[in-house]
Amino acid sequence: MDRYLAVAAKPLSLGATRRELVAAGLFALLWPALGAAQPAPAPTTSSGARPVLRVGLVPYLSARALLNVYEPIRRHLETALGRPVEFYTAASFAALMTNARDPEQPFTLMPAHLVRLALEDWGHNLVVRPIRESGVSIWGPPALAAAGPAALRGRRIATMDPLSLTSMMFQRWRHAEQFDTVVAALSYPTTNAGLMALTRGDADAIVAAEGQLRDAPGAEALDLQSVVRLGAVITPSFVAHPDVPAAQVQAFRQAMLSYRGGTAAGSSGAQFVIGNPRDFQPYESLAQEARRRLGLPARR
């Protein structure tokens, strides 16, 4: 189980100190170099207790930050389902998809293009999708935003995992604008790791969905503005492994449909609807790119 990164540490409070925020970001930066850290415990049962339900989260923030913003949903699920719920994330988007194919992780929160892949290729079931869409932009300081897209020539842009939806959209934009050789892409594992690069001066701008930025600790203090809008996407949705019994899928769906506790302005605060697999058809070309990056067969 070493591909799982347990989201079970002490939550990062909204009033966290700068040292705590830096520590959380450094953890995200150092994770790939650390390899397998402490393996996440497998779900266990005790006498008379229902087994732990494992739910995977898309790793757009560091583990501590994800725990903080998704804790209201975890608590709601425990109450609604009457069983312990543990949230996990992964070291990368590729690891997220590996975990999603493991029956030990019945439910996974993943971005729209990977939802499309999981539904069409692996037989996963759509549980719920959010009502909320999120604008994707290249974000920079006000002076850079005022100067416009041409000012990005020669700039360094922080991007997320190459398999992320935002990174793929950025690469398409850069190629379409013939900026491949004049705009540098710097890959960081999470949004808050990219924000740290901005604060250090290692990057001049960052590619992110607005919902990701609103969930990221410390982002508001940077006063980022949109330099180039790349589009809008459905925020992450829940899917179920094909082996999950229909009754369990329905129970999870009803729990999320009844969720009204989200106060966060970011992706973690979305409300959910049942949705339809057809909602993810517009992401097929990006799903094809994901298949290529994952070494999977192209879908006709």
pTM: 0.84
> What CATH fold (topology level) applies to the domain 4-132+236-294?
D-Maltodextrin-Binding Protein; domain 2 (3.40.190)
Asked whether 216 and 191 are in contact (CB, 8 A), the reply is yes
Residue by residue, DSSP assigns 198-257 as HHHTS-SEEEEEHHHHHHSTT-GGG--EEEEEEEEEEPPEEEE-TTS-HHHHHHHHHHHH
CATH fold match for the domains 4-132+236-294 and 133-233: yes
Residue 108 φ then ψ, to 5°? -140, 135
User: Looking at beta carbons, which pairs linking 145-149 to residues 24 or more positions away fall under 8 Å?
Assistant: 145/225, 145/226, 145/227, 148/227, 149/177, 149/227, 149/228
Tell me how long the chain is: 300
Cβ atoms of 260 and 179 within 8 Å: the answer is no
Q: Are strands 85-90 and 53-56 parallel, antiparallel or unpaired?
A: parallel
d(CA 127, CA 108): 10
* Residues of the chain by 3-state class (helix, strand, coil), percent to 5: 45, 20, 35
What pLDDT was estimated at residue 106?
98
Assign domain 133-233 to its CATH architecture. Answer: 3-Layer(aba) Sandwich (3.40)
For every one of its 300 residues, what pLDDT tens digit does the chain have, with 9 covering 90 and above? 445 555 443 333 323 333 333 333 333 333 333 333 333 333 444 446 789 999 999 999 999 999 889 999 999 999 999 999 999 999 999 999 999 999 999 999 999 999 999 999 999 999 999 998 999 999 999 999 999 999 999 999 999 999 999 999 999 999 999 999 999 999 999 999 999 999 999 999 999 999 999 999 888 889 999 999 999 999 999 999 999 999 999 999 999 999 986 666 788 888 999 999 999 999 999 999 999 999 999 887
Name 126's bridge partners. Answer: 239
Amino acid sitting at position 236: P
SS3 call for 107: strand
Q: What are 239-287's pLDDT values in tens digits? A: 999 999 999 999 999 999 999 866 667 888 889 999 999 999 999 999 9
Q: Please, is 52 exposed, middle or buried when counting C-beta atoms within 10 Å of its C-beta (0-12, 13-18, 19+)?
A: middle
Specify the 3-state DSSP secondary structure of 5.
strand
Q: Is the dihedral of CA 269, 229, 56, 112 positive or negative?
A: positive
DSSP structure class, residue 296 = P
d(CA 210, CA 224): 10
Going from N- to C-terminal start, the domains of the chain cover 4-132+236-294, 133-233
Strand order in the sheet with 4-7: 4-7, 85-90, 53-56, 107-110, 237-240, 125-130, 272-273
Nearest to 101 by CA among 116, 81, 83, 121: 121
